[in-house]
Amino acid sequence: MKKEDLDINKFAKSCMENDTGNMARKNHMWFEECVEKAKDTWNFYELYFATKDEDIICSQGYGELLKRLVPLYKGFDRYVNNITSHASEHYFTVSDWGRLKIGVNDTYFYVPNGYGDGTTFIHIFHQNDDAIKWLNAVEHIMSYSSTIEGKFDIINYDMGKDVLATVDGNFNIYYFNRDVVFVEV
């Protein structure tokens, strides 16, 4: 297919055209290869998202394209799961208000889960996890919530007080579609 026939967002397309830096260069070459092989836009998505290359997955082009497809693309969750699976700690909590409750003693802070009621999945990336690489992927796909510093508890229910885990450090917090990600900075 021709690039001009590819029906994707202009900004995502400009990210695909960027070849400055190693991840962007690899992504650009993969983009070109997939466009050349694709029969139509949906076939392009299937080809493009089939990559296992972590540099491509962590590129801005990949993240921007995937983020703009969320309402349309049924396979989105498996790509988010691929990224979050690299965290060193994983938990899940229950939510009646679509949020994750964190805090200390009787002081709590609520992080949206980007989805609503039900299960919220928590993923914690520590600095020793090659976090910088995966932070790129998280930032491109998820929404930034806030930063937290110090020792805090993750509460197992957004309307409860039972501690599921205690975490200590300085973390940026991101969320999207039931996943809340803490990345140590």
Q: What does pTM read for this prediction?
A: 0.72
Cβ 113 vs Cβ 130: under 8 Å: no
pLDDT tens readout for residues 134-174: 777 788 778 899 999 999 999 999 999 999 999 999 999 99
Strands 143-155 and 118-125: unpaired
Gap between the Cα atoms of 105 and 4, Å rounded: 57
The answer on pLDDT for 29 being more than 90 is yes
